[in-house]
Structure formats: C-alpha cells, structure tokens
Structure 1
C-alpha cells in the first residue's frame, strides 16, 4: 500500500460566508500538511488534495462531520507522494465554471452508480456524451462516446446542435466527466433544453475505474495535478492517442515547455527528451523556454506564502494549470 492518498471530491451545498470558510478550510489543510486545489463558492465545495493517509482520513472525517457536507463523497487513490506542489484554496462564483443557467440542487440527470453504468453503457439505446474539454478526451474516452471540440464547459451551448437529433428519439443520454462535477450542471442544462432520459455517471471516470474496473474506457484519464493522466481501465485497456511529434501510440500527456504556447499535447518519452518537451521547433526556440524535467507539468514558482495573505508570484517562471 502506498503512503499517500489523492482525494477528489465536490458537493453542492450552500456556503453562507465563503470568504470566512475559505480561511478556515485553508488553515485546516495547512495543519494536516495537505497540498492541492480547492474552490469554495456560495454553491458548494470542489477540490483535489493529496497527503499522507492518516492526514487524509482526518480531513475526510472533518468534512463529513460538518452538517453542510454530510453527504460528500471522496474518490480516493493511492500515491507514492504528493500529487501537488502547493496548496491553493480560492473563493470563486462557481465550483465549476460553466455560466450555465441551472441549479443542480433543483434538477439534474439521473445518477448512475459505476456498476449500473457498466451494465448500461453498451445498450444500443444508450448514447454516451463526454462533457470534458477537447484535450481531456483526446487522451482517453469511452468507446463510441460523443465528444465536443470545446475548451471548457462554458462552450456547451454552442455544441447542443450536435446532439439535437437525440430529442424525442427515446435514447438514454448518459453524460460523463472526470469526477462527476461537470455533469451535475451539464445534465441539468440538457434537461432544460428539452432533452429527455438524461443520466450521468455518478463520481465520473475516476470512481468508475476504482469501483467497476474501468471497462471500455480507452486511453487514460486527464487529471489536474502533477500526474497529468492516470490509468483507469483494468479490464481491456487500449491507447487511443498518438505522439504529437512522431505519431507513435502513447497516452503520455504534457504541457508544452514554451510558456507562450503551454498547449496540452500527447508526447512519447523519447520525443519529450529529444525536443525538450516542446510541440514545435518554434516553441523549442522560445527564449523563455521552461526546463523540461520529464513530467511536462509546470507549477507556479511562489514566494512569501501566507495562508491569510496568499502569495507573490515570481514573474517569468513556471505557470499553473487552472482548475
């Protein structure tokens, strides 16, 4: 058993004073030596953190014992070390930025547990719809799933026409995403747009991999931490992406080492080393090129960190991948 845990979670539950709770939550994480990214919003809580097993257990128990978060669910993965370099607890308007005019506490798609999803996914009357960004599904997705060429969930209304034909078809629409949070709003939005028989994979790809083996998820799942991608399919794994440079099959994803570019790209280990983690020769000649350490993950270099005052960022250094 590995010594660290990575926790992925969210909960829609009103937080009356999010700024005050942000400070309380940040201090809790510091006390438990947790690292990660957490969003506090009036509508709820969303985060991914890593830490030693015992510290993560205390963290989960603390949240579960708060009446506001009693129904919270954690996706728990093992790790050899921290999956993050720092701790960020921020207040934002939404726990997942969507701008969609919906409230998941009022209406959302029918939740399917991983085993229910596994049994339904290959039904001819089922259509799987991926609600993640294009760079996420480029490295891994469910067999036969509908995907959208969108950068973020805010663009979903621009792609509704691509599945408009499913209205009144009698088909079951099952939405899925990494941990389930995007589908809470995406499925609610589909219902509001007149779609029927809308479902969602409860807990997302990660929970499906943990609890049901990840069958028929091709490639790897993109995650927003140092690991970049993780395997979820332990039944019939396959690789669906190719190296941006040489075209060989690979599920290895990096950020381009050029801070001007910073594109999410799949790149084999050999090309990563040969080209310094860059996607083009132009990027390779960027005067501000970041040092490629083999991971392709770049976090902000910060100094003068304080849990109450935040931090100062050293200019011209590594940039952060935002939630």
Structure 2
C-alpha cells in the first residue's frame, strides 16, 4: 500500500504533460479536533493518490490545512470524498484565481503539531470563539468605514507585492510576530474600533480573530475565504475590487494577479516588479523579487557570490550546501544585505 510519494518533481511534471489534462488548484482548511492525525493522514493519502491529487497538506490534532491540485475530471470525486468526512462535509473549496497544471508536482500529506505555525498556547483561549466572517461586499463596506482598522495578517514578502487599499501591513517575518505588534498598536482601541483582518485563504485570520477576542477586542471581523474567495466573488458578482497587486501563493506559481497594479520593485535594480524567485544557488535559495533583466544578468541568483557559486563543479556546490538546509532561517525571505532595494 503506497503511503508516500515515490516520484520526483521532474517525473511528475513529465506525467502531467503526457496526460494532457487540465488541473484545478484549490485550497481549504478546517479547525477540528482530530483524535488520530496519523491515521487520518494515511487515509487522505490513499484516497487522494487514487485521484491523482498533488499538493501540500498539513494534518494535526487541531485540524487540516490543504493546498492541492486535482485533474478537473476528478474534482467532483474529490468533493465526494471530502463530504464523506463529517467535519469536512460542505467545506468551502477556494479555487485558484489563475490555474496552472504544474502548481504542485508532488503529493505531500504531513502530520504537524499545528496546521499553521503560530507559536501560541491554544490552551489559554477558545480557538472556536472566532470573529465575524464577512463576504466581499461586506468587507468592502467595512473597509470604507473610518472607524475600521484593516490589518494584513500575512508576512512582509506577501503584502509587499499586493494588499488591500489602506491596510496596515506589518513588516514581519512570521505570523506570530504580527499578533503582538497589532495588539500593541491598537491597545487603546479594543472597544471603539473595528478590527478587520484578512489573509490568503482565511486560516490565519481564523486563529487570530479568536486570539484577539481573548485579548479583549470587542469588534473583530475577518474576510471569509481570504483574498482567494474575495477575488472570486468580485469577478462573479461585479463587486468593486479593492485589492491592489498580486496575491502571494505557496506553490510553483508564487502569485496570482488580482489587479494590474505593480506596487513592488526589483530587489536588485529598483525597477517596478512583483515577480518572486528563489536564488539559483541551492546553498542560498533566498526568496526575493527579481526583474527579467536582472534575472538574465545575474542568472537567477541574488548576488555575485551566488552567481559564481553556480558555475562551480556540482560536488563542490554540494559540499558548500552542508549545514545550510534551513537557509531561509538564516537569510530570511528578502532580508539579505546583498539586496540593495529590498523593502
């Protein structure tokens, strides 16, 4: 019985091309107490593998967080599988704004301590006592209210390329950092201001809203389904779009274009640009913004040192990578000193 992915990304990409079938990229989450995450994880892998589902899913005692793609012809079968699970019956599936058959190349279902790394002790508050969910139209109306403080609950490299007009965008590397910053900034307005939050698909706001209610905030609201569902409703219902730029996503696409605005710049030359890339030097792998011209000149690397490195013999590069498997924890995303025009 196969319980783990056995093919490389390159092999999967070739199979996708060979199949010639359109795939749908979707995401969903649900907070729910799962008694045996490992057993649930294995069940999902077996069922999803038969439907050729690809993607990244985290399962924990507190629920599930999934970003996956499925052949369009298997979408209804996937939905039937999910509906057969009591706490996932009727779950909202956030369909990607822009489709890419290679958004994911492997099926990974992992058991984690939490479905989102938030650094919180959930035993101190009720995670089910969440804020009020708003649809796109309701969100726009509250966004225009002068008594509202709208907060982007994502990290700096996400909000840098796109965010809602007038939103507060904390300059943070982690979700946990933003929680304390926002509480401190709004400590005098826990009762008289509307705290309006949003994130990519809603999962971070779900936990944050319960956290802030625990901290004494009286008027807590969140965008239901996040930016992904907001964009779908805007297009389907002809609602005014108040999001500018791109929505950062955690797959091979890296971002979805929501508006024509380019609000970021190349971290190497300063030119208007909102395209993320990972440094071609595997010992670095830094996530940063790079325009086409710099990508060509620098060969998709973040620095002269990394550019020189990629031309070294493979074995030498392999030796240099030792001890740097967690490079983002060292360099941070877009924080390297070699980037002259970083945020």
Q: Which protein shows a greater Rg?
A: 2
Q: What is the alpha-carbon distance in structure 1 between the residues aligned to residue 86 and residue 245 of structure 2?
A: 38
Task: Pick one of 22, 29, 42 that aligns with 1:23.
Answer: 42
- Structure-to-structure mapping, 1:66-215, within 5 angstroms: 66-77=85-96, 79-102=99-122, 105-159=127-181, 160-168=183-191, 170-213=192-235, 215=241
Name the residue aligned to 1:276: 299
Task: Pick one of 271, 282, 298 that aligns with 1:259.
Answer: 282
Superposition deviation, residue 105 in structure 1: 4.7
Higher strand share: 1
Contact 1:14 1:68 in 2 (8 A): no
Decide which moves more: 140-149 or 254-263: 254-263
Q: 1:28 to 1:206 in 2, by over 3 A?
A: same
Q: What is the alpha-carbon distance in structure 2 between the residues aligned to residue 184 and residue 26 of structure 1?
A: 26
Q: What RMSD in Å do the two structures reach over aligned CA positions?
A: 2.8
Q: What is the alpha-carbon distance in structure 2 between the residues aligned to residue 289 and residue 110 of structure 1?
A: 55
Contact 2:280 2:310 in 1 (8 A): no
Q: 1:216 to 1:28 in 2, by over 3 A?
A: same
Which secondary structure state, in structure 2, belongs to the residue aligned with residue 149 of structure 1?
coil
Contact 2:201 2:228 in 1 (8 A): yes
Contact 2:200 2:226 in 1 (8 A): yes
Contact 2:150 2:166 in 1 (8 A): yes
Name the residue aligned to 2:254: 228
Listed as ranges, the gaps of 5+ residues in structure 1 are 292-313
Q: TM-score, normalised by structure 1?
A: 0.83
Q: 1:216 to 1:44 in 2, by over 3 A?
A: same
Listed as ranges, the gaps of 5+ residues in structure 2 are 1-20, 315-320, 330-343
Task: Pick one of 245, 263, 282 that aligns with 1:240.
Answer: 263
Moved runs in structure 1, 4+ residues, more than 4 A? Answer: 287-291, 314-322
Q: What is the alpha-carbon distance in structure 2 between the residues aligned to residue 259 and residue 164 of structure 1?
A: 43
Contact 1:243 1:267 in 2 (8 A): yes
Matching of residue 217 in structure 1 with residue 248 in structure 2: no
Q: What is the alpha-carbon distance in structure 2 between the residues aligned to residue 319 and residue 286 of structure 1?
A: 18
Superposition deviation, residue 257 in structure 1: 2.2
Q: Deviations over 1:22-43 (max 9, x none)?
A: 1111111211111100011111
Q: Deviations over 1:87-124 (max 9, x none)?
A: 11000111111122346653111111122112221221
Q: What is the alpha-carbon distance in structure 2 between the residues aligned to residue 212 and residue 61 of structure 1?
A: 27
Q: TM-score, normalised by structure 2?
A: 0.79
Superposition deviation, residue 280 in structure 1: 2.2
Q: Deviations over 1:27-65 (max 9, x none)?
A: 112111111000111111111111211223211221122
Higher helix share: 2
